[in-house]
Structure 1
Amino acid sequence: MTPVGGRGPAPAHRDPVRCARRLPMLGSMELRVFTEPQQGASYDQLLAVARCAEDAGYAAFFRSDHYLKMGGVSGEPGPTDAWTTLAGLARETSRIRLGTLMTAATFRLPGPLAITVAQVDAMSGGRVEFGVGTGWFEAEHQAYGIPFPPLAERFDRLEEQLAVITGLWRTPAGETFDFSGKYYTLTGSPALPKPVQSPRPPVLLGGMGAKRTPRLAARFADEFNLPFVAVDDTAAQFGRVRDACAAIGRDPAELCWSNALVLCCGRNDAEVRRRAEAIGRDPDELRENGLAGSPAEIVDTIGRYATVGSQRIYLQVLDLADLDHLDLVAAEVMPHV
């Protein structure tokens, strides 16, 4: 059946996009769109942003995995589920890659989650990327009755989830998968369905944890992402992950290195201020902590992240009704990075 809007999935033979292959040279920066729907967005709004991003030439559309607005209790019309959203977008886009920053390991069991991600990968023709983290926002767990264990246990559970999910995906067809952990046990799993991408969809991990985060990234990640982190802190954490790779004999060049930053671009100071006010932020603060200012200022900021090894920037777009914002960056920033 042709989906609404007349867009079908990409061909099933599409090769997975691997950052290390696409962006071999420092300074060749890939731009992706990153949304926070828990702040108030419907599926139709997210579809409009994803289609705009696709038409404008962005490489990917990502969304958060949250069930509660931050900074308030409403967030009308209410939360949308991350993987339900991506399943819909898989059928209503054709080129752009789709993923999460980050799926909360507290929300879902690893076996069913592996099935979900593999299914959405198939629905998209092999365009899914799987970002996953411990989960951190306690209030949303309380609001929707989701257990929220202490941080050490959340890290333990995340590590087991990664082992289970990647183990299910890599199990050869016709064989079964078993796993015995402290929190999850699988016996005789047929390890189906398989993702379209081989050997599996790219796995994204991230965060500023000094010990366990680098170790998990070295073991499991295809991409390491830092959200809302300054250039110097980015360099330090990238270094920790590279050291963790070296400790297990993995080449750090196998990983993609990325940042997520709030976007607030304008053709002039008045437009920058208008966009900052629309998301409740100060332009000077955003220039200090995000990607704010004229296209030239944003190109310069992106260049500073490139010098410490970042290869992708996720543009956190908070005003989802302002599609001209995306068009401006595509026209005036993307050609220069």
Structure 2
Amino acid sequence: MELRIFTEPQQGASYDTLLAVAKATEDLGFDAFFRSDHYLVMGDSDGLPGPTDAWVTLAGLARETSRIKLGTLMTAATFRLPGVLAIQVAQVDQMSGGRVEFGIGAGWYEAEHTAYGIPFPAEKFGRLEEQLAVVTGLWSTPVGRTFDFDGTYYQLKDSPALPKPTQTKVPVIIGGMGAKRTPELAARYADEFNVPFAPLAKSTEQIGRVKEAVAAAGRAADEMVYSNAVVAVVGKDDAEVARRAAAIGRDVDEVKADGLAGTPAEVVDRIGQYAEQGSSRFYLQILDLSDLDHLELIASQVQAQLG
């Protein structure tokens, strides 16, 4: 079981804060550092000092870390043209020595589009599908050949399809709870399917749908990694759990319902329940980025028990 650290910088985090968390992620033996791709705070936080761009952040971290994987849950397809996005991700993969993983979603938060003048199209899923076709097509085009694409939303002609990522195949992550189109899209393009913030029963149901879509697409079952994104609130005892939940404005029972909350022993048991459905990777959403002791506790008393 792999544990990855997942951050939400739009809630208020500078690059230096993210760097500190990423270095702790690496030093403590976690598998990866991921971040959201948002430009506007959600909820009651003031969001200070303001948003940071996902791929600019990951480019910086690529040069200041050496082992951990780096990626997004999820890059918004509405934010960037696919040709430009392919260049950005390939460059960060080069800068990291081949440690990037590419999570992409349709984009959903209309308010941040309005706040920063980003078009928010009515049809988003079709654009996501074409973005995946373009980005993966550009990366897989042999050097010396060109790439063309004539879609409804995007058209490319005689693209040199450069630069190439360092990795022969950048892992693609698709997620969501859609019952039909999302599993089918994942079966076509994804190396990993992520279930976001869902109770165990719903997570099991969605993974079942994706497994069916993977089989229908003629892919081997072991070609897809299944993962869960969950809020993490871990404490050495109930009092510490309650304190950490209060610090992020959450109720302990609420987090237990669709995330990971409790003592290390309780959290290890809960992870085991998700593992039984086929999940092999967890993205632990850490909302208090100043509490690095939280990461140390998870590393020493949860990760250590998972092997």
TM-score (norm 2): 0.98
Q: For residues 159-205 of structure 1, what are the alpha-carbon distances to aligned partners after superposition, in whole Å with 9 as ceiling and x for unaligned?
A: 0000000000000010000000001000000000000001x210000
**Alpha-carbon offset, residue 252 of structure 1:** 2.5
Residue identity in the other structure for 2:204: A
1:140 aligns with 2:112: yes
Residue matched to 1:321: 290
Structure 2: 5+ residue stretches without partners:
none
- Matches of residues 118-157 of structure 1 in structure 2 within 5 Å? 118-150=90-122, 153-157=123-127
Partners of 1:300 and 1:87 lie apart in 2 by: 36
- What is the SS of the residue equivalent to 2:33? strand
- Matches of residues 91-130 of structure 1 in structure 2 within 5 Å? 91-130=63-102
Give the fraction of aligned pairs with identical amino acids, expressed as a percent.
70
Residue identity in the other structure for 2:35: R
**Alpha-carbon offset, residue 74 of structure 1:** 2.9
Q: For residues 47-106 of structure 1, what are the alpha-carbon distances to aligned partners after superposition, in whole Å with 9 as ceiling and x for unaligned?
A: 000000100000000000000011147301000000000000000001011000000000
Residue identity in the other structure for 2:12: G
Residue matched to 2:143: 173
Structure 1 runs (4+) deviating above 4 angstroms are none
Aligned pair partner of 2:249 in 277, 280, 304 = 280
Q: For residues 295-337 of structure 1, what are the alpha-carbon distances to aligned partners after superposition, in whole Å with 9 as ceiling and x for unaligned?
A: 0000001000000000000000000000000000000000212
Residue matched to 1:81: 53
Residue identity in the other structure for 2:225: C
Partners of 1:73 and 1:301 lie apart in 2 by: 29
Residue matched to 1:61: 33
Question: Does the Cα contact within 8 Å between 2:11 and 2:45 map onto a contact in 1?
Answer: no
Partners of 1:308 and 1:247 lie apart in 2 by: 19
Residue matched to 2:172: 203
Aligned pair partner of 1:229 in 186, 198, 216 = 198
**Alpha-carbon offset, residue 42 of structure 1:** 0.2
- What is the SS of the residue equivalent to 1:333? helix
Aligned pair partner of 2:10 in 29, 38, 53 = 38
Question: Does the Cα contact within 8 Å between 2:195 and 2:203 map onto a contact in 1?
Answer: yes
Q: For residues 217-246 of structure 1, what are the alpha-carbon distances to aligned partners after superposition, in whole Å with 9 as ceiling and x for unaligned?
A: 000000000110111111111111111112
Partners of 1:227 and 1:212 lie apart in 2 by: 16
Partners of 2:209 and 2:257 lie apart in 1 by: 24
Residue matched to 1:17: none
Aligned pair partner of 2:156 in 177, 183, 186 = 186
Partners of 1:51 and 1:313 lie apart in 2 by: 19
- What is the SS of the residue equivalent to 1:249? coil
**Alpha-carbon offset, residue 133 of structure 1:** 0.1
Question: Does the Cα contact within 8 Å between 2:82 and 2:134 map onto a contact in 1?
Answer: yes
Partners of 2:45 and 2:294 lie apart in 1 by: 27
**Alpha-carbon offset, residue 38 of structure 1:** 0.3
- What is the SS of the residue equivalent to 1:240? helix
Residue identity in the other structure for 1:272: V
Residue identity in the other structure for 1:161: Q
Question: Does the Cα contact within 8 Å between 2:200 and 2:258 map onto a contact in 1?
Answer: no
Partners of 1:188 and 1:81 lie apart in 2 by: 29
Residue matched to 1:162: 132
Partners of 2:216 and 2:196 lie apart in 1 by: 25
- What is the SS of the residue equivalent to 1:310? coil
Partners of 1:154 and 1:66 lie apart in 2 by: 16
Residue matched to 2:24: 52
